[in-house]
A = this chain, B = another copy of it.
Amino acid sequence: MQNPLILLTNDDGYDAPGIKALEKVATLFGDVVKIAPDKPQSGMGHAITINSTLRIAKRESRDGFIGYQCTGTPVDCVKIGLDKILDRKPDLIVSGINHGSNASINVIYSGTMSAAVEGKIEGTPAIGFSLLDHSIDADFEAAQEYAKKIIEMALSKLEDKFCLNVNIPKAKSEFIRGIKYCRQAQAKWVEEFDKRQDPSGQDYYWLTGHFEAYDHHQEDTDLWALENGFVSVVPIQYDMTDHQYLDRMKEWSS
C-alpha cells in the first residue's frame, strides 16, 4: 500500500514557523508535499488569482525535503498543487499551523481555512490548524501534539471527505483539557480604522477593530471550548444557502 499523500499549505507563507511545525507532524503519517504562498497571505479568504499569473519555485531544504513556493493565495496553492504539482490526488490536505485564531467568524476571512475548504470542494479531506498566538516565536508544542492526534483520527475517516477547523488554545499541553467538537460561534469584528497621514499629508488607514462575540457562553460553540481550555474542532461545509430563510421567502412575490 502507498503511503498517504499529504498536501501541506498555509497562509502565513512558506517559511513561517507554524508550517514548519505542521510539516514535522504530517511527515509522521505520509509523503508530504508542501505548496505554500511565497509571502504572508493572512486575511485572503477564498481569494483566487484570475487577473494575473502565477509562478512556482521549487525549494529543497538541507534535509532533502522538497517543497514549492507559489506567488498566489492559499486557495491558488491548493488548485495549482492538484492540477500541476502532485502526480496523484492527495489523501489529505493540512493547512497551517496558523499564527492566530481562526475560530468563529474568523473562518470566513482566513486563508488557512479557505485552503482547507478548497480541498473539500475538490473532494479531498482537509484540516486547517490554528494556534491562538500571533507571535512569530509562538510555542507550537501543544499544537503539534493535538495536530498529531487529530491527523491520526482523520486518516481513519478519509471516506467522510470532512473539512475541519481546528483551533488550539495558547497553553502548555498539560493545561489543555482535550478536544471538543463544536459549532462556529456567532461573532463579528467591529471595525475601528486607524486614520493616519503620510509624509505628504495624505490620509491612509489601517484596519483595526475589536471582536464582539454573541453566544460564546453556549457550550456547543468553538469560542466556549477555547475559553475553557479545549481544542475546538468545527466540521466545515460550503453551502452558503440560508435554508431556513429560503422557506420563509415564499412570502416574497415572484
A residues sitting closer than 8 Å to B (CB atoms) are 40, 42-51, 53-56, 73, 75-76, 79-80, 82-84, 105, 107-109, 114, 117, 121-123, 153, 157, 160, 162-163, 165, 178-184, 188, 191-193, 195-196, 202-207, 233-246, 248-250, 252-254
Contact = CB atoms under 8 A, between A and B. Distances in A.
A15 to B, nearest CB: 15
Contacts of A83: 191-193
Contacts of A235: 241-242, 245-246, 249
A249 B237 CA distance: 14
Nearest to A83: B191
A157 B251 CA distance: 10
A180 B253 CA distance: 9
How many of these chains are in the complex?
2
Given A79-B207, A204-B53, A237-B240, A252 B105 contact: no
Given A42-B50, A53-B204, A183-B243, 15 more contacts: A45-B48, A45-B75, A46-B109, A49-B207, A53-B196, A55-B203, A83-B191, A153-B252, A160-B245, A162-B245, A181-B246, A184-B240, A235-B245, A237-B241, A237-B244
